[in-house]
Every structure is written in C-alpha cells, then in structure tokens.
A and B are shown apart, each in its own frame.
Chain A
C-alpha cells in the first residue's frame, strides 16, 4: 500500500488548483475594485471626469465579478 494508491490525488489537485485560481484571483479583482473607487474620488476632486468614469467602470465591473464568483462557488458546491 503506497501513498499514491490511498490518496485521492485528483481531488487534492482540484482543491489546490481551485484555491489558487479563485483565492488569489478574486482577492486581486476585489483590490482592483478598491483601486477604482479610490481613484474615482481622486479624479473627481481634481476635475478629471473621463478618468473618473473609467475608474468608476473598473470598480463596478470588478465588484460585480467578485459577487459573481462568490455566487458561482456556492452554485458549484450545491451541485
């Protein structure tokens, strides 16, 4: 009996892969949302409307992506 034969390596690799992609990816995307919100405030204060709109769009898209990822994770788990 070897470790290779008693361990569900496929399951372990799934956990490792999903954890790295989702864990690092979602937190990085959320950081982009924080970046967007902060830059919107700075750009508005300095009267740079186009830049503010671009960062606003980044914040909204990034935040929506985080929420979608959370919902997708729960849906995958329930099936």
Chain B
C-alpha cells in the first residue's frame, strides 16, 4: 500500500516537473519569435504548446538514456526517484524566480544522481559513460555547435539577402520564423518530454510494474508527459522570455530565424542519437552565435555569463537538493510518510515563492515590451 502511495506521489511529481519544464523552457522556444515580432506572444506560446505535445510522440531514444543509462537500475527505488524530482523541481523554480534560463534536463539528471548517491553511495552511478559520456560532453558540444551553426547561418543569410530592401526581407524571415519556431517547439517536445517519461518509467521499474530487462515506455506515460509539458508551455515563463528575447542581444528577424533553425537542428539531431541535452543551453548558444557573428559587442556577455554560471551550478545544486530530499524522506522510514511530508513542505515553499513573486507585479507586460 505504502509503495503504491509513493508511486502516485512520484508520478504526480514527475508530471509537475514536466509542467515546470514546459513553463521554464517556453522562453527557449518562443522568445526569438516574440522579440522580432514574428508572432504575437499568446499565439507564439499556443503554437509552441501544440508542437511540444506533438514532439513528445516522435522518439523515445532520450527516455531510454535517462531511464537506463545513468544510474544502476537495481539502485532505483521510488523514494530515490522522488528525491531526484524534488531536486529538479526546486532548482527549476529557483532559476525561474531569478529569471535564469538554466537546464531542466540537467536539473532532473542531477536530482536523480544526488538522491541515488545519498541512498546507495557512488558505486551505483555511472559517472564515466553515463554522466560524463551521455550528459556532460553533449552539454558542452551542443551549445558550442549551436553557437557556430547560428553564426555561420546568419553570415550566409546576410551574404544572400544583405543588399535587398529590408521590408520584404523582414516579412520573409517573419514567415520563416513560424517554420523555424515550429521546428524548435517540436524538437523541445521530442527531447524534454522524454526525460519525464524516462523518470516515470524508472519509478514503474522500481515499483515492479516493468521488468528491469524490458525497458519500454507505456503509452499512458507518453500521453501524460506530452500533456503536462504542453500545458506548462502554454502557461509560459514570461520572466525568462524577457531574458532570452532581448537581454542577450536585440535580434532582427533573420537572426531570430538563424538562431531557431540552428537550435532546432542540433536538438533534433541529438534526440535521434539519444543525448538528453539541454534545450536551454542549445538555443542560448544559437542566440549568442547569431548575435556575435554580426557584431561581437552586440551580445551582452555579462548576461551570458550569468546564464553560464547557472548552467555550471545546475547539476551539483539539483543533486544536493535531491540528496537532501531523499535524506529527509528517509527520516520518516521507508513508507509513504517521508515523501508526503517533503511534498507538503515543497508545496508550502512554492506558494510562498508565488505570492512573493506576485507582489512584485506582473511580468507579462515586461515580456510584451521585450
């Protein structure tokens, strides 16, 4: 009975994480379209939500990596998965609170690794092939490639259309941003929704519903994860939209198109290979590349530096919170009491953060003016 209650809490927490993932990462997908006025904010967010939903059904390679490639299956219990999710959700909310576009993916992986470490020690975590090979190296490669692809793409575009009248060119690239933004939303759903699917599947394996040597993602998990990320995307994270859309550098429509196209290509290619990369890192790299190629000083490197600092902190911070959440849960034994108490504490802190943020005034207007 207790294990059933924990499983329900874990699935609810995983879908809550997926919601915050969509909420947090909406900015990655729509900020460039909004800042260049290619699409109205609400329309851009709705469009992204729909394509995020569709994208979640496209591939399951990343879910397999998250579910079976980083922490040893025998070490996973529902309480470990719960601790990992708390770490990921908490770090997502902290970075959302400060308007920093950090990685939801690394938060999730960090959280699960931290909780597994607290539960079983370092032997159960595949630091080499898993964390370094499948997470950290792609985490460095993807934004770097996106930076150079975004930069090269905008240089090619300027070479081709640089001498034309700006009016028709801007209209052409606004239309192009509908396509590139759609591909980016699809790519986001493909890579990010799968991480939640992987974690729920881990919990189902730990609960005994799926055999460890028969890793597969049940259809209800795919549908619920797709729905949660789409709803989160529609809810939107306007603070991060502002950072991504205008604070890194002001973009023209061609730069927005180049950045979205570069980001979508890198994410889709990585999803096909099964790398659970950060969509946030990737699109940030592409945005910076498209700005730096035009003029290096166009990029506000101070803002970019803050984002990089949040990236570096994400894995260890989420791991520390995940380990702490697991530790607090275990203070109440192996039953459902621990996860219930931690959930209640989390909901309390969440309400406090929302009320505190609401008192500072609306952020939608800021995004509209971005």
Contact = CB atoms under 8 A, between A and B. Distances in A.
The answer to whether A and B come from one shared complex is: yes
Interface of A: 1, 3, 6-8, 11-12, 14-16, 18-20, 22-24, 26-28, 30-35, 37-39, 41, 66-67, 70, 73-74, 76-78
Contact of A23 (B134, B153, B179): B153
A35 B152 CA distance: 18
A78 B262 CA distance: 20
A23 to B, nearest CB: 4
Q: Is the interface of A mostly helix, strand, loop or mixed?
A: helix
Interface string B244-275: 00000000001001100110011011111111
Contacts of A33: 172
B129 A6 contact: yes
A59 B172 CA distance: 11
Given A16-B141, A19-B269, A38-B169, A27 B157 contact: yes
A6 B133 contact: yes
Interface of B: 58-59, 128-129, 132-134, 137-138, 141-142, 145-146, 148-150, 152-154, 156-157, 160-161, 164-165, 168-169, 172-173, 176, 179-180, 183, 186, 190, 254, 257-258, 261-262, 265-266, 268-275
Contacts of B265: 18-19, 22-23, 26, 73
A19 B146 CA distance: 8
Contact of A19 (B59, B134, B149): B149
Given A24-B153, A28-B156, A38 B137 contact: no
Given A30-B257, A34-B176, A77-B272, 16 more contacts: A6-B129, A7-B132, A7-B137, A8-B273, A14-B272, A15-B138, A20-B148, A20-B152, A22-B269, A23-B150, A23-B261, A30-B176, A30-B261, A31-B254, A38-B169, A74-B58
